[in-house]
């Protein structure tokens, strides 16, 4: 997608003349001014922006406002191209020289991109830090260097619920939630076989999990046999949930369809489904932090991975300065507010996030409430497959009767493996 810069012949001539003439200061200053005008007024600036397919129209609107704001300073040719955010890192690092100049990424891709030298540090870092929420800035930083421009603070998950069937008391604990759903002959949904969501049952147990200093492998003791909460206790707590008739393990898309059909009255998901849920439940749509669940007769508040989205600038961009200006523009207060209005995305900009309109959106307030019990997603690749294998067995009710300690040992062995088989 990269396109070579066109250097105006007139500019080359001016530079050549300036180098040979040996002019006095006044003439030299005039020539420098002329050169600068040529660069900003006549120079052609070609940039490519990657965005999720669902955000192409909005991104085009934002780039048009950027061109209007900087009209007269350059001849802009900006192309907005489709690229799924989940695959940005893989595609970019596979051919960085032909990657986009500006691209959107979730925070969990940042460290790999920094390690690969793919990101230009943010030029106006102090301004960006001052304008955005502290956690969003931390998510976009490595070793106190800001490498990307935050623009959302809502990439986490929480509980949606239908107020026609569930009260605020019902949604405080998983036990009450499932009991109310059973009484109404309805279902509670969760994408259980995903490590992203599965983490919610382990994050507040006091057990340890995290990325090692090598940035590749994980440490984990979820199979511990000591302490007030053990791996077997957690596994049994999960089986108590998945074998409940009111619980259904299903992908996010099926959860949305279930709300429309009337089968689902509660589910764990994120703000990206807020519009669809509101269409299904209308004024009865509710959202709140995740419930607690029972482990060995104790209530443990469910955790979550918190997430932020940001914009990065390709360190190999042929128009780095303009790419930085564009990334800054696309993530400023004005455009974060626009994203909220059009896409219901929660802003990371402090002023935009504090608006009365944002405060009136249940989904955004729910993700903020849940963030108190969340942590940044910083995991090695071996985590994901191990979680799927374990979760599939638990979701099916452990049909082969595998001893729970063995299940937990296998889970931890997979999570801490040095490489994915």
Model confidence over 211-255: pLDDT tens digits? 998 888 999 999 999 999 999 999 999 999 999 999 999 999 999
Q: In this structure, is residue 420 part of a structural domain?
A: no
Say if residue 19 is in the same domain as residue 98. yes
Say if residue 198 is in the same domain as residue 267. yes
pLDDT digits (tens, 9 = 90+) for 89-113: 999 999 999 999 999 999 999 999 9
Q: How far is CA 135 from the centre of its chain?
A: 13
Dig out the tokens for 277 from the structure.
């849920």
Contact 249, 191 (CB under 8 A): yes
What single DSSP character describes residue 372? G
Q: In this structure, is residue 190 part of a structural domain?
A: yes
The pLDDT assigned to 344 comes to: 85
Phi-psi bin for 174: left (phi > 0), alpha (psi -120 to 50), beta? alpha
Say if residue 336 is in the same domain as residue 263. no
pLDDT digits (tens, 9 = 90+) for 4-43: 333 333 333 333 333 334 444 444 444 444 434 444 443 8
Residue ranges for the chain with pLDDT beneath 50? 1-42, 420-421
Dig out the tokens for 153 from the structure.
């603070």
- For the chain, how big is the Rg over CA atoms in Å? 25
Q: In this structure, is residue 133 part of a structural domain?
A: yes
Helix (H, G, I), strand (E, B) or coil at 143: coil
Say if residue 294 is in the same domain as residue 177. yes
Angle (CA) 272 274 277, round 5°: 125
The pLDDT assigned to 290 comes to: 98
* Burial of 262 per CB tally in 10 Å (0-12, 13-18, 19+): exposed
Partner residues linked to 91 by β-bridges: none
Q: In this structure, is residue 32 part of a structural domain?
A: no
Q: In this structure, is residue 367 part of a structural domain?
A: no
388: phi then psi, degrees, rounded to nearest 5: -60, -45
Which secondary-structure segment (H or E) carries 47? Answer: strand 44-51
Q: In this structure, is residue 187 part of a structural domain?
A: yes
Say if residue 292 is in the same domain as residue 392. yes
In 387-415, which positions are buried (b, 16+ CB within 10 angstroms) versus exposed (e)?
Answer: bbebbebbbeebeeeeebeebbebbbebb
Say if residue 282 is in the same domain as residue 394. yes
Partner residues linked to 132 by β-bridges: 349
Q: How far is residue 274's CA from residue 361's CA, in Å, rounded to a whole number?
A: 9
Q: In this structure, is residue 36 part of a structural domain?
A: no
Q: Please list the alpha-helical segments (H only) found in 193-301.
A: 195-198, 231-242, 252-261, 274-281
The pLDDT assigned to 419 comes to: 63
Q: How far is residue 60's CA from residue 66's CA, in Å, rounded to a whole number?
A: 10
Domain count, the chain: 2
Say if residue 67 is in the same domain as residue 81. yes
Say if residue 259 is in the same domain as residue 396. yes
Q: How far is residue 349's CA from residue 399's CA, in Å, rounded to a whole number?
A: 48
* Residues whose CB falls within 8 Å of the CB of residue 208, separated by 6 or more in sequence, listed in order: 219, 220, 221
Q: In this structure, is residue 2 part of a structural domain?
A: no
Say if residue 236 is in the same domain as residue 205. yes
Say if residue 174 is in the same domain as residue 273. yes
> For residue 378, how many C-alpha atoms fall within 13 Å in the half-sphere facing its CB?
18
What single DSSP character describes residue 216? S
Say if residue 269 is in the same domain as residue 329. no
The pLDDT assigned to 283 comes to: 94
CA dist list (Å): 138 to 111, 145, 346: 12, 9, 17
Q: How far is residue 336's CA from residue 226's CA, in Å, rounded to a whole number?
A: 47
Say if residue 16 is in the same domain as residue 86. yes
| CATH number, residue 322 | 3.40.190.10
340: containing domain: 9-27+43-154+308-361
């Amino acid at each position: 997608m990269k396109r070579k810069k066109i250097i105006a012949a007139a500019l080359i001539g001016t530079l050549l003349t300036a180098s040979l003439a040996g002019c006095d200061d006044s003439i030299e200053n005039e020539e420098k001014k002329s050169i600068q005008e040529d660069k900003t007024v006549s120079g052609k600036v070609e940039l490519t922006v990657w965005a999720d397919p669902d955000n192409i129209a909005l991104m085009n609107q934002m780039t048009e406002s950027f061109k209007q704001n900087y009209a007269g300073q350059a001849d802009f040719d900006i192309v907005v191209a489709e690229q799924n955010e989940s695959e940005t890192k893989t595609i970019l690092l596979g051919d960085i020289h032909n990657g986009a100049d500006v691209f959107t990424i979730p925070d969990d891709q940042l460290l790999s991109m920094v390690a690969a030298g793919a990101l230009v540090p943010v030029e106006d870092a102090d301004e960006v830090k001052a304008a955005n929420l502290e956690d969003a800035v931390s998510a976009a930083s490595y070793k106190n260097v800001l490498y990307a421009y935050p623009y959302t603070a809502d990439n986490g998950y929480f509980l949606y619920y239908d107020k026609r069937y569930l009260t605020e008391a019902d949604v405080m604990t998983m036990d009450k939630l499932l009991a109310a759903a059973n009484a109404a002959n309805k279902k509670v949904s969760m994408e259980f076989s995903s490590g992203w969501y599965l983490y919610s049952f382990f994050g507040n147990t006091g057990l340890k999990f995290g990325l090692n200093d090598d940035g590749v492998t994980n440490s984990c003791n979820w199979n511990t046999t000591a302490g007030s909460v053990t791996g077997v206790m957690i596994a049994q707590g999960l089986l108590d949930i998945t074998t409940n008739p009111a619980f259904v393990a299903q992908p996010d898309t099926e959860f949305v369809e279930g709300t429309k059909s009337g089968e689902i009255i509660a589910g764990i998901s994120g703000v990206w489904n807020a519009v669809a849920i509101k269409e299904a439940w209308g004024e009865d749509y509710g959202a709140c932090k995740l419930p607690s669940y029972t482990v060995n007769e104790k209530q443990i508040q469910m955790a979550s991975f918190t997430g932020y989205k940001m914009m990065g600038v390709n360190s190999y961009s042929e128009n780095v300065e303009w790419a930085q200006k564009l990334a800054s523009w696309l993530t400023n207060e004005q455009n974060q507010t626009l994203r909220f209005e059009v896409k219901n995305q929660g802003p990371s900009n402090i002023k935009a996030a504090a608006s009365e309109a944002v405060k009136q959106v249940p989904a955004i307030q729910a993700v903020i409430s849940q963030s108190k019990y969340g942590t940044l997603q910083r995991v090695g690749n071996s985590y994901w497959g191990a979680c799927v294998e374990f979760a599939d067995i638990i979701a099916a009710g452990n049909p082969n009767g595998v001893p729970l300690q063995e299940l937990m040992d296998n889970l931890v062995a997979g999570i801490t493996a040095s490489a994915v088989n």
